[in-house]
Amino acid sequence: MAHDSQYTAEEERNRINAAKITEKLLRRENNTGRYSVERELGRGAMGVIHIAVDRDLNRVTAMKVITPQIIDMEKRFNAFVTEARLTAQLEHPNIVPIHHIGMNQDTGLPFYTMKLVEGEPLHEIIDKIDDEIPEYIQKYDRHMLLDIFRSVCHAVAYAHSKGVIHRDIKPENIMVGQFGEVLLMDWGLAKTLDSEAGHSADSHFYGQQSPDQDGMKTLDGTIKGSPAYIAPEQAFGDVDEVDFKTDIFLLGSTLYHMFTHCPPYEAEDIMEIISKAETCDFPPPRNRNPKCLIPLALERIILKAMAPLKENRYANAEALIEDIGAFITGRRVSGRKVFSPGQDLIRAGERTKESYVIFNGQVEVHREVNGKRITVATVGPGEIIGEMAGITETASSADVTALETTDTLVITHELMKEELQKLPPWLEHIIFSMTKRVRSLVKQVHPLLIEEGAFPVTNQLYYIFLATAQKQLTDSKNSFRLNDVVDEIAINLGLDRIGIEKILMILIEHDLAVMDKDTNVSIPNLDDLGLYVDFCRVRFEIKGGMKEISAIRLTPEKESYFRTISRKLSKLFPPKK
């Protein structure tokens, strides 16, 4: 500060004393300067990053200094200062904050300081996941990686709202901190776009590309960006076409690398990589590294972001964030369908690949049993239909018909599997196991569990003993252990043993079957049992099969006897309310 001649002697003494105290507090007594450079942290095309101590604020910071080799290039100096000023204007939790810009008094080189992030670049994390290092696999699961990616998207969305594009988004420029920080770094190629035209308002430096240059490294010539990730418009060097949707492509390339563990473009030399980038010649994500098991829905997000034509990419970063969020939380559906009254959503016996969430309306779940329509359930809004078929992709066990105009959300078998893959493996296995078990039980929902159990079990019992009688062999058995009979019927009908045993005990109670003290079962009068089977067929209107009976002749006493048995059996299967 220049001396003001208007100061009084006392004011001048106070000023000098204040300066001495301030210099002492800021440790400037020996003209040591504000920063003490400790060591080099990294090096890039535009500058060198050092770890430096800020003596004024007593904190460790990162200092970026322009490389001396380009000090004769005024445009590069201008770009360096512009990078610092532009980044400083982007105050966002996921963009590295700039602390100070200055000039080294000894070299004359400009520098700026920024927050020192304690962590790892994302590309190193991906490499360690690919190397199957256990702690990295455990920490950086799919959800964690997608959360990191969303943070980067938020930084890009904010920058775009300020009219700024990054142009060099890639895992190497993303820093992941030890405590969950995610910072999009290196805004050296960032440009401000005209809000109306959407094109760069800055001049550009045109240089040459070295054929043996690394495709992962940033170019700042005719082609600006990292060739292994760039959009077609960048590969062609078409500056006027580089805009917000170029960053969308780069976000897609980053997501591609995160989940395939490889950049989109790889080749022997830089020009071949650029040639591939011009035509978006990259392997589909799921083919690039099959061991990564990329869900189809995530691949679709990547491919949409990396669409060759800009009009086919996401409209903005917010739309990409929305799709990633929907993928993470399982809010995606395959579409909507509206069913008219009487229209079938699902047909019994068909192998359906779709489940339905009822949004509005009502449907009836029903089955055909012996030529009769049996209603299993009536369901409405919020209910899910066909969820087990959606998981197991097996044939449906019932018809589902719309009772009124019904609006549904459709969930495909493929989508169901993708969402289940997001669960911890043990939970996914539990769900599949439970589904298979329920599916097995559904198969056992025989007509006797829906309506009347007398006919199927009694019919089986009759034919078991009829087959024995027809052998007419001296050593043929006319009795069987109860457990063996129950097991045989259970195998033939796919029913649970408890229900079968209850039916047999009622038949035994009314002398259609007999059980001795050793629990051996026999049939005292096979003709009576056969007549009772025919009685059940007529009474319950059992249709089909080889034996068609329209009526049978019974004495009043026999009919009363059979009706008594049937009433007793019916109590085992009360009608559904």
Which residues are annotated as catalytic?
Answer: 168
Collapsed DSSP state (helix, strand, coil) of residue 94: coil
Residue 401: what are its φ and ψ, rounded to 5°? -125, 140
In 140-289, where does DSSP find H-type helix? 142-161, 232-235, 244-260, 270-278, 285-288
Cα angle: 467, vertex 538, 372; to 5 degrees: 110
Radius of gyration of the chain (CA): 39
Residue 272: what are its φ and ψ, rounded to 5°? -70, -40
In 263-401, where does DSSP find H-type helix? 270-278, 285-288, 296-305, 317-329, 387-392
Order of strands, edge to edge, in the sheet holding 344-346? Answer: 344-346, 399-402, 363-369, 372-379
Cα 372 from Cα 367, distance rounded (Å): 8
List the structure tokens of 376: 């299993």
Ramachandran class of 223: left when φ > 0, alpha when ψ lies in -120 to 50, beta otherwise: beta
- Are 417 and 389 a contacting pair, CB within 8 Å? no
List the structure tokens of 260: 């395939």
List the structure tokens of 388: 């087990």
List the structure tokens of 507: 């038949």
Could you tell me which of 78, 96, 98, 77 has the C-alpha nearest to residue 88?
Answer: 98
Residue 503: what are its φ and ψ, rounded to 5°? -65, -45
- Are 179 and 135 a contacting pair, CB within 8 Å? no
Cα 575 from Cα 451, distance rounded (Å): 7
Q: In DSSP terms, which residues pair with 176 in a beta bridge? A: 120, 182
List the structure tokens of 431: 């769900």
* DSSP percent split of the chain into helix, strand, coil, nearest 5: 45, 20, 40
- String of b and e for 216-234 (b: at least 16 CB within 10 Å)? bebbbebbbbbbbbbbbbb
Cα 345 from Cα 296, distance rounded (Å): 25
List the structure tokens of 133: 């290092």
List the structure tokens of 441: 């039980």
In 2-141, where does DSSP find H-type helix? 9-25, 74-89, 122-130, 134-139
- Specify the DSSP element, H or E, that contains 96: none
Collapsed DSSP state (helix, strand, coil) of residue 383: coil
Cα 277 from Cα 110, distance rounded (Å): 35
Q: Which amino acid is at 481?
A: R
